[in-house]
Amino acid sequence: MEKMSVLKMRYLQSFLICYLCLLATWISTIHSSSPSPVNCKTDGYNCIVSSTYGVWPDRSTCQTAKVVYPSTEEELISAVADAVKNKLNIKVVSKLAHSAPKLVCPRGGSGLLISTRDYANNIIVNTSSFTATVDSGVELREFVDTIAKFGLALPHSPYWDGLSIGGLLSTGAHGSSVWGKGSAVHEYVVGMRLIIPASPYEGFVRIVELTEEDEDLNAAKVSLGVLGVISQVTFALQPIFKRNLTYVSSSDEDLEERIVAFGSDNEFADVTWYASRSEAIFRVDNRVAVNTSGDGVNDYIGFQPTPRHLLESQRNIETQAELQKDSQIKCDMASTQIAAFLKVGMGLRNNPNAFTGYPVIGYQNLIQTSGGCQNAVDTNPLTLVCPWDHRFNGSFLLQTTVSIPISWIKHFIVDVKKLRDMDPTSLCEVDLYTGFLMRYVKKSSAYLGKTEDMVDIDFNYYRAYNASTARLHEDVYEEIEQMALFKYKGLPHWGKNRNVGFEGVARKYPNLHKFLEVKRRYDPQGLFSSEWTDAILSRTPCGVSIQKDNCALEGLCICSEDSHCAPDQGYFCRQGKVFRHARVCRYEPSSI
Ligand SMILES: Cc1cc2nc3c(=O)[nH]c(=O)nc-3n(C[C@H](O)[C@H](O)[C@H](O)COP(=O)(O)OP(=O)(O)OC[C@H]3O[C@@H](n4cnc5c(N)ncnc54)[C@H](O)[C@@H]3O)c2cc1C
Ligand SMILES: *[C@@H]1O[C@H](CO)[C@@H](O)[C@H](O)[C@H]1NC(C)=O
Ligand SMILES: *[C@@H]1O[C@H](CO)[C@@H](O)[C@H](O)[C@H]1NC(C)=O
Ligand SMILES: *[C@@H]1O[C@H](CO)[C@@H](O)[C@H](O)[C@H]1NC(C)=O
Ligand SMILES: *[C@@H]1O[C@H](CO)[C@@H](O)[C@H](O)[C@H]1NC(C)=O
Ligand SMILES: *[C@@H]1O[C@H](CO)[C@@H](O)[C@H](O)[C@H]1NC(C)=O
């Protein structure tokens, strides 16, 4: 008991310090400090590629022979031509590489990596046609701020602004809405320019220009990077508008009854469900006329530059909680954090300087997405980083992100509540990382887009540094994951998730064959494909799961025998408690 309150105190102290230095960062100058995903032995050769998290889902390393950084289309074309001529496998990676699955790794660990870090020079706005054409390496933040200066807006986007246009489209990234065309960014694509392999007679490359008239655009809009290199993208935009946002906290008592209507009633609705606390935060967020007064900014706390020591001390307390198998410690941390976040409106500000209360009204580009930590400077003695920065022992997490058909979401919530009611403390871990974030996404014409209107469920939870270390209540997370994927036929986010998320995924897409047909035409030799993309795009189940000791702990497999869990640590492969078909690793010390 005493230990618990000491930990809690330490945590509270860290939090206060945190706010003081966050204040300091708002007035400091900025230049990029996030780590590069590509590290080479010699300049541009013999490189190791990692994601922003530093570790791939299977903890393997990805090697590539060479990396290039084109800054013009001519350089891009000649890089692709060269690689095709030499039959090299190719992959494209963005400046910061935010996808968790191993999507950016060339086949065989020996190919060419094309980075779009420097391919970000053009944002060409046409104010009479309400369109903009951008280079694929342009960062989301730069894009929305630039078009705003021309009085235009992208109606929907992911919530984190450090993504590249090419990368966010390729994995079907989205915000939250069931209005109009919905929240996926690819719904607003009206043109694309791709560089694809070609025969020697054509000079080894071909430029493909797609417009809305071309059916192939349905393949290219969400392509997992396997069709070729996206050079430029043209978006249909809207006149800029403002948004009026209020977070309303309420009991989750009737969440399952409210969730569908709430999405219909509010253009930019989302719900943050803190299940352990029986609480839901409803984002009441709607468009208002551009002349409505308000200078609001969304500066979401989780994306602000964060002091390294705060992240490390939070991680230490979590690890202590894991070692002591004491979930109450995590519940206390979650309570403290949620209270602190809500107090500052999650990072919303009514004017550039302060949060004074709801509603917060501001321009679309300043509300739709946020960031900042990717550009943090080092200010001695406190180092400011993104929470997931792998150079430090800060937060290190697993993530499950699955979209569930809107017609099933009610039943999913009821099932999660049943699990919660068996032991509410089992979900405190998730609440420490903003709960179950529920966002609306609409049925898409993209072959690899959503197959119907859906609610996307996104949750994060503790990952041990040692892949063989079992985790507190992991059976509960595994059961929810399998429930979402298999009982409710959920679709995994292509750019997130553990391997199990992709088990049988190809069979969930009725238009997969159309996508594969375009892929065969554009890249018959499969130079842009890899072991991972082959595995996820195959209808025969192979390659996604890895069967070995402890494989279920990090979602490399679904356990079918105890050795897939950690019997030596008291974790055995058992049935789900609500979803009986689930197979999960449960702590049963008495069975050792
Ligand atoms: C902190 C954080 C917050 C996030 N928030 C959201 C969110 O709110 N909503 C959401 O939907 N997703 C979100 N994501 C997931 C994110 O949208 C995807 O992981 C996205 O793919 C990352 O884009 P990237 O620019 O980092 O691309 P990368 O990870 O570098 O690449 C992703 C894929 O795109 C391909 N690719 C990139 N550029 C090109 C190109 N020019 N031509 C061809 N292929 C290309 C790559 O080969 C790879 O297959 C978030 C991720 C993080 C880390
Ligand atoms: C802008 O769009 C209009 C309407 O589609 C078109 O006529 C015009 O040529 C475009 N301008 C430029 C500079 O491309
Ligand atoms: C903003 O939204 C709130 C409801 O959340 C509403 O009461 C208020 O009138 C709105 N303000 C404007 C200016 O539209
Ligand atoms: C906003 O502009 C509209 C016309 O476009 C006008 O009718 C309205 O009164 C204006 N509102 C404010 C608050 O200025
Ligand atoms: C992180 O922790 C591991 C072991 O837990 C240690 O080996 C490593 O040096 C630490 N890294 C940093 C940057 O402190
Ligand atoms: C990881 O944990 C396992 C099981 O507890 C242990 O056998 C192994 O030595 C650990 N590995 C490292 C690198 O600490």
CB–CB of 588/572 below 8 Å?
A: yes
Residues 133 and 94 in one domain: no
Residues 147 and 82 in one domain: no
ω into residue 359 within 30 of 0, thus cis? yes
Residues 88 and 163 in one domain: no
Assess whether the C-beta atom of 291 lies below 6 angstroms from ligand 6: no
Residues 104 and 159 in one domain: no
CA of 90 to the centre of ligand 5 (A): 33
Residues 95 and 179 in one domain: no
Q: Give DSSP secondary structure letters for 26-68.
A: HTS-----SPPSEEEEETTEEEEE--TTSS-TT---EEEEEEE
Residues 71 and 156 in one domain: no
Residue 97 lies in a domain: yes
Assess whether the C-beta atom of 466 lies below 6 angstroms from ligand 6: yes
Residues 135 and 208 in one domain: yes
Is-above-0.85 flag for pTM?
A: yes
Instruction: Provide the residue range defining the domain that includes 110.
Output: 38-115
Q: Which of 88, 115, 142 is the last residue of a domain?
A: 115
- Confidence (pLDDT) at 382: 66
- Confidence (pLDDT) at 381: 56
Residue 403 lies in a domain: no
Residues 128 and 188 in one domain: yes
Round to whole Å and give the CA distance between 290 and 174.
23
Nearest CA to ligand 3 atom 11: 244
Residue 339 lies in a domain: no
Nearest CA to ligand 5 atom 8: 393
Residues of the chain with pLDDT under 70: 1-32, 378-382, 542
Phi, psi of 380 (to 5 degrees): -60, 145
- Confidence (pLDDT) at 380: 56
CATH number at residue 147: 3.30.465.10
Residues with CB under 6 A from ligand 2: 126, 128-129
CATH number at residue 99: 3.30.43.10
Nearest CA to ligand 6 atom 2: 468
- Confidence (pLDDT) at 33: 78
What letter represents residue 168's amino acid? L
**Nearby residues of 435 by Cβ (< 8 Å), 6 or more positions away:** 272, 273, 274, 275, 281, 459
Residue 549: strand, helix, or coil: coil
- Confidence (pLDDT) at 4: 39
Nearest CA to ligand 5 atom 10: 393
CA of 469 to the centre of ligand 6 (A): 7
**Nearby residues of 439 by Cβ (< 8 Å), 6 or more positions away:** 174, 175, 176, 183, 270, 455, 456, 458
Q: Which ligand is nearest to the CA of 288?
A: 3
Q: Which of 70, 92, 115 is the last residue of a domain?
A: 115
Residues 82 and 145 in one domain: no
Nearest CA to ligand 6 atom 8: 468
- Confidence (pLDDT) at 543: 80
Nearest CA to ligand 4 atom 2: 291
Q: Which of 239, 268, 289 is the last residue of a domain?
A: 239
Residue 528 lies in a domain: no
Residue 273 lies in a domain: no
Q: Which ligand is nearest to the CA of 158?
A: 1
Residues with CB under 6 A from ligand 1: 52, 91-94, 96-99, 103-104, 116, 136, 158-160, 163-164, 166-168, 170-171, 173-174, 224-225, 229-230, 493, 495-496
Residues 105 and 128 in one domain: no
CA of 242 to the centre of ligand 4 (A): 13
Number of Cβ within a 10 Å radius of residue 74: 9
SS3 content of the chain, % helix, strand, coil (to 5): 35, 25, 40
CA of 165 to the centre of ligand 1 (A): 8
Residues 137 and 209 in one domain: yes
Q: Which atom of ligand 3 is nearest to the CA of 359?
A: 1
Q: Which ligand is nearest to the CA of 570?
A: 6
What letter represents residue 498's amino acid? R
How many structural domains comprise the chain? 2
Alpha helices in 244-390, H assignment, sequence order: 255-265, 308-324, 327-343, 364-367
Q: How far apart are the first and last CA of the chain?
A: 28
Round to whole Å and give the CA distance between 101 and 292.
42
Residues 160 and 231 in one domain: yes
Round to whole Å and give the CA distance between 340 and 346.
8
Residues with CB under 6 A from ligand 4: 289, 291
Residue 153 lies in a domain: yes
CA of 291 to the centre of ligand 4 (A): 6
| Digit-coded pLDDT (tens) for 432-468 | 999 999 999 999 999 999 999 999 999 999 999 999 9
Nearest CA to ligand 1 atom 53: 98
Q: What angle do CA 4, 9, 12 make, to 5 degrees?
A: 125
Assess whether the C-beta atom of 469 lies below 6 angstroms from ligand 6: yes
Task: List the structure tokens of 399.
Answer: 């993530």
CA of 103 to the centre of ligand 4 (A): 48
